[in-house]
Structure 1
């Protein structure tokens, strides 16, 4: 639902009831991920898309039907898949299947939803937990986690389910993932098993670009376009200026390894080392390879890479840590210009993050739209992983 947060926030402020259709499960190839929504208000106005067009008409009709019941009926589930018999039938021509939950939402009864949507519109972290399977009276109910995970609004059962779901929502908010989680039914205080879809709007992931060079200027622009909060860091004040890097969120003058030891990183952070100068690279990479960041890449020729590996090994970096290093940085696109190189680097980051192959789609088989890598659904595990991210100093994995 957060894909249409701005419109839903306006409808909530206007106390305008609406039907909400949300993708709660994807099988095979599908154009849009779990959590994507379409909404329809009482006047027939629609916003959003869940399939890129091929099932929108049928979903719109279901929304209108749910609205005609004025919320009296239970939420409805519908499954859409490919039809071999009729290419124009309701279905997904991409070959996948979507499981959609359609429910009526009365903003007057869910003030917490408006608060969560307001945070999303303001680009503050927020999560909305939506029950998509379980007892009939709980399906479609929601609660929200705001203020960086510290405040919970709304209620499911007013008891153990609230606590369990809020804990999972906080963990996924810290991890930055929208995901389905299962709670209850296993002696943890909630007797009824629930399946909950946690919609997450996290803070922007970080891209740390070390080396105030032309490649860094292009990479900071590409990183910003992809939604990263970009920092450019270099020890040379004459080069590390905001005028040279207008697309970066911040430009820092500091020794790279010192800055990295003092800043906050997490599993979504991308570290891009573009200096290819050993006096900067080695202490920086030695630290980076010991931190729980998502991606580490370093620029340089293959000869530079071989020498870099030797120096890192001599500095005490283990082989399993060296295996995390993407060097020479980027995919083989034949890139030469800074702009082309930035595309090469960001393409590798995307492929690494989403477990992609990096191969041309024409050479592959199977679904094009694959599910994103599943995050940990265990709140305690996510909490431990997040706690290991540095707040300064060095952290061992």
Structure 2
């Protein structure tokens, strides 16, 4: 738990988690809005706090319609039935509730997380106006944060949206100082793509308006991170497919028009015909490559690979992987050293790309590439879990697995 001053007289107590991109409220929007547009009442359950080996992250969401339909998940199956029943009860009362679910005891049928850990879940009636505003916001390239009150002077469930320069909704406190501090902290979290709990204690002055602690959940909704795949090969089709599955916005680029077609890479969001290095340099200069971008170089041709790797390794991308044999990798590394690249710069290149899964086919190779990207992003070792100990989630990456800038 971290402590940080946000302004004189108030302190901030934040529990953070890096956003991943799937399983949160925005993924439920199509179903939720469809239900609401057809006149069906519904409730939303959101994980607001996790402890120990909780199965889902803060922000994981599930929605339940009054007629019994359900989408999403808050625990991967452990407490879904209990949350489902609580959501139906909330629809009857119209009042939000905050529930805690912990590891199951000796009663095998007790409501609990049999996999261990503890979660707190906010269950509330769906706010149609706010959900429609959130749906419009996440369709733009601008980030937005959802702020949900989970404790304090007002009932849980009050929501608002905070953008870089705008807000929708109001904070349930007349304390302008507290509101300013909270909005500043939310925008700091939004800039870093962070989600988590922010607590503003009561003001120390007896006459101050904020007389009770205020606790809010901040959920940062960023545009999808980009995956840039260079070389429209059969491997590119498989990598694009798994990249889209992971939530990336996938672009495939190849200088050869005969290969660069939507038919060859149907899961890519866009297909570009251009020299790879020229396209990457243009996208980087335009600010469309950032610290969440992953780059997969699959061309297997030094004419394309070397100038492309020059641009990729000196850009802001989090991950750069090169497909090919060890001989190909050594050749590319040698050429880059001749061009003045240092070992410190080359350590960001994953070559050969992927984890050692023993696969050979394009699909198996794509899984190996995706596994390495996830391991680097999440801090995994890449080893079999049965051969590791300690927490399954949130383990620091080993030095040999750390081939990215994450």
TM-score range, shorter chain: 0.7 to 0.9
Structure-2 change in CA distance of 1:291 and 1:194 (3 Å): farther
Judge conservation of contact 1:22–1:101 (CA < 8 Å) in 2.
yes
Partner of 1:302: 326
Q: Which has the higher contact order (CA 8 A, sep 6+)?
A: 1
Structure-2 change in CA distance of 1:322 and 1:22 (3 Å): same
Measured against aligned partners, the alpha-carbon deviations of 1:59-96 in whole angstroms (never above 9, x if no partner) come to 3444455455443xxx5433211233211111111012
Q: What is the distance in 1 between the residues matched to 2:301 and 2:312?
A: 16
Q: CA deviation at 1:205?
A: 1.6
Partner of 1:380: none
Partner of 2:298: 274
Q: What is the distance in 1 between the residues matched to 2:186 and 2:339?
A: 41
Q: TM-score, normalised by structure 2?
A: 0.76
Judge conservation of contact 2:43–2:87 (CA < 8 Å) in 1.
yes
Structure-2 change in CA distance of 1:339 and 1:15 (3 Å): closer
SS at match of 2:241: helix
**2:350 is the counterpart of 1:326:** yes
Structure-2 change in CA distance of 1:190 and 1:330 (3 Å): farther
Partner of 2:196: 179
Judge conservation of contact 1:40–1:64 (CA < 8 Å) in 2.
yes
Q: What is the distance in 2 between the residues matched to 1:123 and 1:36?
A: 22
Structure-2 change in CA distance of 1:229 and 1:63 (3 Å): closer
Aligned residues: 362
Q: What is the distance in 2 between the residues matched to 1:130 and 1:32?
A: 18
Partner of 1:153: 168
- Structure 1 gap segments, 5+ residues each: 374-397
User: How do 1:1-397 residues align onto structure 2 when only pairs under 5 Å count?
Assistant: 1-10=25-34, 13=37, 19-40=43-64, 47-71=71-95, 75-104=96-125, 107=128, 111-117=129-135, 119-120=137-138, 126-133=144-151, 135-137=152-154, 139-145=156-162, 149-156=164-171, 157=173, 159-173=176-190, 175-182=192-199, 194-263=214-283, 264-368=288-392, 370-371=393-394
Structure-2 change in CA distance of 1:5 and 1:173 (3 Å): farther
Judge conservation of contact 1:282–1:311 (CA < 8 Å) in 2.
yes
Q: CA deviation at 1:58?
A: 3.2
Q: TM-score, normalised by structure 1?
A: 0.78
- Structure 2 gap segments, 5+ residues each: 1-24, 397-406
Judge conservation of contact 1:13–1:114 (CA < 8 Å) in 2.
no
Q: What is the distance in 1 between the residues matched to 2:110 and 2:100?
A: 13
Q: CA deviation at 1:104?
A: 4.8
Q: CA deviation at 1:246?
A: 2.7
Q: What is the distance in 1 between the residues matched to 2:150 and 2:33?
A: 21
Q: CA deviation at 1:302?
A: 1.6
Give the alignment's Cα RMSD to 1 decimal: 3.4
